[in-house]
Structure 1
Amino acid sequence: MKKILTLFAVVGLFAFSGCSDDDNDVDYDTISEVFELQNVNFGYNATDGYNIYEKLDPVLFEDDVILIYRLAGTIDANTPIWQLIPRTLYPSATRELDYDFDFSREDFTIYARGNYDLSLTPSYLNNQTFRIVIVPGSPTGTAKSANKPDYSDYNAVIKKYNIDDSNVKKLN
């Protein structure tokens, strides 16, 4: 009997030692991907101010989130500079412009707000390019912070979630 219990203990040890909760915190149900809104203009309405509204296709899984990056410029023809939003810009010493967004499983809205009449700076409202990145979320807070990418770094996010950046899907 003692040998059988020892055998079960050894087999159990090997069975559980092969299990690991460390899968680099990648949600394999989520298909991380990137969409682009290229050269879009913010629309204006009296209720919401300046915004860009888009439907998501496909819709998000329950725990997925989106990150939105604004094309802030380029280093050269092949090196864009992507800034994570929300973001505050200062067109002058007294002017403040904020880009922000919200999203649901089916759509998202990008907002532009400021402490001045934004129509005075159309370069911040017209011909804007944004990248929308779908990534798995962690609603329970179980993801290890050491394995999370620097979300402000577009390239780190692309690398972390193994996204093919050459296959960006256009939304407009």
Structure 2
Amino acid sequence: MKKIILLLAFISMITLQSCTVHEEVVTPVQTTDNDTISEVLEYTVSFNSGNNYKRLITFNRPIYTSDMVLVYRLDNNLVNNGTDVWRQMPQTYYLGTTGELDYNFDFTNYDVNIFLGANFDLNTLSSDWTQNQTFRIVIVPAYFGNKMAIDYSNYDAVVKAYNLDDSKIIKNRN
């Protein structure tokens, strides 16, 4: 009886040994996303009571809900070594006894709304703050947004990080 049990155990081991699983190793393929691009739009805007101190800018095509939109305002009073100074929005200016002025924006998949806000009557605001204000809108695809550590408050750092060409900026006027 012991020999039969030993023989069955030996046959079982041979049988079980032939049942092997071959796992296929899948190596991820590195791809380059050639159709996802960052772009910059530039608009010069004048704010007044007629447009309710806001400007709606519509994109040529919808952006993805995961994309980032950054807006920068050209500070006409600042130049650094002959270079324009762009400030990331939102921005708040304290105008002494006049009050507080805000440049702000919101966006959807289809547009950006740039607007002024204040704790005083905007009709009393100097035209230096409302007329011919230049903004740059940077659309950053989500594909890139999580890939790099960037100081988004620095327009020049954003342009460099996303390899944007200032000569190809789409410029629009009021």
Q: TM-score, normalising length from structure 2? A: 0.72
User: Which aligned pairs between 1:80-119 and structure 2 lie closer than 5 A?
Assistant: 80-93=84-97, 95-119=99-123
Given residue 67 of structure 2, which amino acid in structure 1 is its aligned partner?
D
Gaps of 5+ in 2: 1-19
Give yes or no for contact 2:48–2:123 (8 Å, CA) kept in 1: no
Rounded to whole Å, the distance in 1 between the matches of 2:106 and 2:58 is 12
Q: Secondary structure of 2:54's match?
A: strand
Q: Aligned pair count?
A: 151
After TM superposition, which residue ranges in structure 1, 4 or more long, deviate above 4 angstroms? 26-29
Q: Which residue of 1 aligns with 2:146?
A: 143
| 1:75 to partner: Cα distance | 1.6
Is 2:40 aligned against 1:34? yes
Rounded to whole Å, the distance in 1 between the matches of 2:68 and 2:171 is 19
Q: Secondary structure of 1:42's match?
A: coil
Q: Secondary structure of 1:171's match?
A: strand
Deviations 1:65-122 (A, max 9, x none): 2111000134268511000001111122551101111111111111101111222222
Is 2:61 aligned against 1:58? yes
Given residue 66 of structure 1, which amino acid in structure 2 is its aligned partner?
V
Rounded to whole Å, the distance in 1 between the matches of 2:54 and 2:62 is 20
Give yes or no for contact 1:65–1:134 (8 Å, CA) kept in 2: yes
Identity within the alignment, %: 39
After superposition, the CA RMSD in angstroms is 3.0
Give yes or no for contact 1:43–1:52 (8 Å, CA) kept in 2: no
CA distance change for structure 1 residues 35 and 82 in 2, over 3 Å: closer, same or farther? same
CA distance change for structure 1 residues 43 and 94 in 2, over 3 Å: closer, same or farther? closer
User: Which aligned pairs between 1:121-160 and structure 2 lie closer than 5 A?
Assistant: 121=125, 122-137=127-142, 143=146, 147-160=148-161
Given residue 160 of structure 2, which amino acid in structure 1 is its aligned partner?
K
